[in-house]
Each structure stands twice: as structure tokens, then as C-alpha cells.
Amino acid sequence: MTAPERLRALLAEPGLVVMPAVWDGLSAKLAAEAGFKTAFLSGSCVAASRLGGPDLDLVSFGEMFDSFNMVHGAAPETLVLADGDHGYGNAMNVQRTVRAYGRAGAAAVLIEDKITPRALTAAGKPCLPREEARMKIRAAVEAAKDSGILVLARTDCRPTQGIDEAVARIEMYVEEGADILFLDSPADEGEVRRAIEAAGDLPSFAVLSPGAPRATPSQQEAARLGFKIGTFPTGMLSPAIAGMQAGLAALAAGRSEAEEALSPPALRETLGYDLYDSQAKPFIVPS
């Protein structure tokens, strides 16, 4: 089965799909070893790791695609939902983005309706007119036929244009053939229910990391509401930052490592030194 076929089968199973957000080979490998079958290649995590800053539309398609190849190479069996952002241009750019991820082995790709470049502020996401947003999703669905990659259609218009417009866009994306639907920034449980109802029988996606100004149910509440996929952009990123800060604080205090650090044998095992040796053994030239 292809990656998109495997993801379709997984989404047909009961229960919430918990999807860690990853950004490089190590984060993908750790998620796979922890037993997660899926992962979200998160634009915010890639921006944090590559730029050391927030996700404000500064990461290019080339950087995201390079990050996908690192993730896919380190965890080839993981079903990756790639953040295609706004498609990096118009409808034709969307098609190029979708086809590239499909050829490379992604299971699904996210396309959203925000305007880019955004206004020079970190607040708010102005969105495209409805019919222009429709054409982006139509282009994505058409391009997805080449590989079977699933299209996740996201609307960001709730904060700027209201819940009625956001629900209308979800209904429109369903009409255009999107496979997964995503209302960003619902205000409360009532708006969540409206969006899930608008998606019909198709799976709904949610960001469940705490801290943002949106309704953020727990995993159990998300499943009860009808979400099918929950992703956690800060789930690994925030502890990773905390761990690096702890390591730096230990060095600054004159110690060799933080108390939370892995032991040297555990670190070597995690990174796969013994696995490398076993895989390389058949190719060693005899003395």
C-alpha cells in the first residue's frame, strides 16, 4: 500500500489519531520509536529549528521540502502530513507543491487560505477571497490525483471574517473534494461542532497544543467532539527547547551536563551507533 492508502485506512479505524509534530530526522525517529504511526511536518516547528523564530511565512518551500526529506529518511514508515502552507503562491504553485510532496512519499498535504505575504505584524491572518481560496483547493485536489496524496484544506478566516464564513469555506472545500478539513482558531465548543458537522463524513483535524487563543480540548474531549486527527506543534518542541536551555545552564554553572541528560550509553543507543555497526559489517574490507 502507498502512504496515502495507509493513511486512509488508518483514518477509517475508530479513535483519535494522535499526530506528533516533527521537524527533522531526530524528532521523526523519536516519534516513530515511541510508537506513533503518523507525524505532522509542522511549519512552526521547522521555522523554530531553521530560523530560531516564529512561523510568520518566512520559511520557503525549499526549506520545508528539505525538512520533509530529512523526516522521511529517518522514519520511512511514518505517515507524514506535510505542511504545504499557502502553496507558496497561486493555484499553479499549489499544484507544484502538492505534486512534489506526493512524489516524495508524503501521505497528505495541508493547504490553507491565508494571504501572503502577510501584513508586517505577528497578529492575525488575512485570508483570500472565497472564490480564490476555492481555486487553490481545486488545484490541490487535481494535482493530488497523480500520487493519491490526501489534501487537508484549512481555513484561517475565523478570527478575521467570522465563524459563518469559516463554516461556509469548509463546506466549499468538501464540495471541491478535499479529504480532511481544518478550521483554525475556533472560539468555543459550539464553533467546533459546527465545523465538524460541515465536514460531514470526512475527518476533521485540530491543533491541540495549549497556549493559543482558540478552543483547545483534551485528547479525550477532542475524540468526543468528533475530531479525527489531533496534532501538537509544541508537544516535542517545547520540551526540546527546555532541555537545551537546561544543558546550557549546566555548562554556564560549571557542570558537564544537566541532570536531565541521557547517560552516554543511552544517547548512543538512541542515535543508533550499534545499528550502524551491524549494518556496516558486511561491507568491511577484510584485513
Average pLDDT along the chain, 287 residues, taken 10 residues at a time: 98 98 98 98 98 94 98 98 97 98 98 87 83 98 98 96 97 98 96 98 97 91 97 97 98 97 97 96 94
Question: How confident is the model at residue 122, as a pLDDT?
Answer: 66
Q: Is 221 a domain residue? A: yes
With contact defined as beta carbons under 8 Å apart, do 79 and 105 qualify?
no
C-alpha cell at 124: 492575525
Q: Is 273 a domain residue? A: yes
Q: Is 94 a domain residue? A: yes
Distance between CA 172 and CA 249 in Å, rounded?
51
Question: Which CATH number characterizes residue 156's domain?
Answer: 3.20.20.60
User: Residue 245's domain spans which residues?
Assistant: 241-282
245 with 145, same domain?
A: no
Q: Looking at the 3D structure of the chain, how many domains does it have?
A: 2
In the chain, the amino acid numbered 217 is P
191 with 99, same domain?
A: yes
253 with 199, same domain?
A: no
| End residue of a domain, out of 214, 233, 252 | 233
Instruction: Say which residues have a Cβ less than 8 Å from residue 121's Cβ, sequence separation at least 6.
Output: none
193 with 254, same domain?
A: no
152 with 250, same domain?
A: no
Q: Is 30 a domain residue? A: yes
161 with 263, same domain?
A: no
**pTM recorded for the entire structure:** 0.96
Q: What is the DSSP letter of 282?
A: G
Q: Is 287 a domain residue? A: no
Question: How confident is the model at residue 139, as a pLDDT?
Answer: 98
Sheet containing 180-183: give its strands across: 180-183, 150-155, 108-112, 79-83, 38-41, 17-22, 229-232, 205-207
